[in-house]
Amino acid sequence: MDDAAALEQQKQQCIFCKIVKGDVPAKKVYEDDVMLAIMDINPAAKGHVLLLPKEHYPILPLVPFEHMQHLFEKTRAIAKALKEAMLCQGVTVFIANGAAAGQQSPHFLYHLIPREHNDALTCFDLPATGDKEANGALEQALRRRVGAFMNAYLPQTERDDLRLEPAPEERPRRQEQVSGDQLDKLITLINENDDLKDALINRADEVKEAVRTNKKWQALFKGVDVDKLSQNLQVMAAAQAKKQDPNPDTNEEQQE
Amino acid sequence: MIIYEDKLVTATLPEKPATKGHVHALAAKTSIEALSEQECAHLLSLASFTANALFEQVGASGTNIILTDLEGVRASILARTDDDGLSLQWQPQQLSQEEMDSIAARIKDRCDYIGHEEESQTQPAPKPQRQERAEEKEEEKKPVKNYLLKQLDRTP
């Protein structure tokens, strides 16, 4: 029997597919085109709800992306409804993939369980018995794989804005660090102080040294590229000189 | 040891793992209802992707995701093997039919609002954030523009 035939046979015998069709009764608390929420008949706590896709998928990794997103989005609203109905302090979302993880149904589903601080559900208190070094050895591989998954995921949900800014050393430094106010202040200061302007135009190295060694100057020129500022001032000074005396050569000729 | 981080969620390897193949995922919110629908899907998707990665890397037989919002919103993602010694099975409660019916009715009453009052509350995140970012970008450009304009103004 091939996989498709085996899956079809599994569907035929699946109790949850029968619940979806209405052939087997269940206490439905929420239903839409994609999913169903029903009361668990063997609850871990009062108000224990099962969430399942209407289509039969054996495990979560086989649930198509759109259906998975729909289930996960609605989890929030159903959890909120559960909290309001049961007046509980929290909820646990419990997902099991595979028999080794405690999956009991061949139809993928997951649990929403009302929780209280210090309740009897100690099964969710995980022991600290694992091998830390063996777990730590997974770091690089997990970073690479999870990063790749999320890099593909964020654009699909149009949430590229959730990405962190590049690390400080990767940032283009100067322009981003200069605020408009700071630049205005600096420009005013330069325009009011001919010595400073002269130093910037003609002795940029001295200014850079002062910025490096003097805290006040550091604050004043924070994020500013002194060389670039010096070049700009030189260009402006040259342009200004030219305007005041647009064509010195011609004037000289006329005088002559 | 952080294995993934963005503005909403962080996934780390715990100091005291329960088993080989244990990852914590945290959301920067206080409860599950403080997340938007999309943010809830974002966190659970991260958990699901991490479970897949663990499954591959550990050669596991199964995976668990246990997300609880009693103290912040945090999830444990576990790679499982048949002989790992963990038992996450609870003792089922015995409830009378009347009690089951009454609880189901209460929950259904609340769930009936889903898609009505929720709509306006659960989609707030993307647009305002994008606007903020657009404003930030404008602010980033502003100094340059101001600077150039001011130089032009000063040119006689």
- pLDDT < 50 positions in chain B: 118, 122, 125, 127-129, 139-152, 155-156
pLDDT above 90 (res A210): no
Q: For the CA atoms of chain B, what is the radius of gyration?
A: 24
From chain A, the residues in CB contact with B95 under 8 A are 43, 46
As a whole number of angstroms, the distance between CA B51 and CA B25 comes to 11
Name the helix (H) or strand (E) containing B22: strand B22-27
For residue A166, being part of any structural domain is answered with no
For residue A156, being part of any structural domain is answered with no
Identify which has the larger pLDDT, A111 or A130. Answer: A111
How far from A230 is each of A176, A204, A244, B8, CA to CA, in Å?
Answer: 19, 6, 21, 43
As a whole number of angstroms, the distance between CA B16 and CA B148 comes to 56
Tell me what percent of the residues of chain A surpass a pLDDT of 70.
89
Structural domain boundaries, residue A47: 3-119
Q: How far is A64 from chain B (nearest CA, A)?
A: 12
How far from B107 is each of A87, B3, B116, CA to CA, in Å?
Answer: 11, 37, 16
As a whole number of angstroms, the distance between CA B153 and CA B138 comes to 21
A10 and A94 in a common domain? yes
pLDDT at position B144 is 45
From chain A, the residues in CB contact with B153 under 8 A are none
Q: Which residue of A lies nearest to B74 if distances are taken between CA atoms?
A: A92
From chain B, the residues in CB contact with A179 under 8 A are 143
From chain B, the residues in CB contact with A41 under 8 A are 100
Cα–Cα nearest to B31, from B74, B73, B75: B73
**Is A176 within 8 Å of chain B by CB?**
yes
The residue count of chain B comes to: 156
Domains of chain B, with CATH numbers?
2-82 (3.30.428.10)
CATH of the domain at A89: 3.30.428.10
Interface test with A, best of B50, B108, B140, B154 (most A CBs within 10 A): B108
Which DSSP category does A167 fall into?
A: P
Query: Span A229-253, mean pLDDT?
Result: 71
Number of domains in chain A: 2
Give the pTM. 0.70
Q: How far is B35 from chain A (nearest CA, A)?
A: 7
* A119, A144, A165 - which closes a domain: A119
Cα–Cα nearest to A142, from B54, B74, B39: B54
As a whole number of angstroms, the distance between CA A36 and CA A54 comes to 6
| Yes or no, beta carbons of A85 and B31 under 8 Å apart | no
Query: Which residue pairs from A79-82 have beta carbons closer than 8 angstroms and sit at least 24 positions apart in sequence?
Result: A79/A112, A79/B32, A79/B33, A79/B69, A80/B32, A80/B33, A80/B110, A80/B118, A81/A29, A81/A30, A81/B107, A81/B110, A81/B111, A81/B113, A81/B114, A82/A47, A82/A49, A82/A112, A82/A114, A82/B107, A82/B110
Cβ within 8 Å of A, B 18-57 = 18-23, 31-33, 35-42, 44-57
Which DSSP category does A60 fall into?
A: G
List the single residue in B42, B66, B70 with the smallest CB-CB distance to A157. B42
Give me chain A's average pLDDT, please: 87
pLDDT at position A21 is 95
For residue A158, being part of any structural domain is answered with no
A113 and A194 in a common domain? no
pLDDT above 80 (res A173): no
pLDDT above 70 (res A174): no
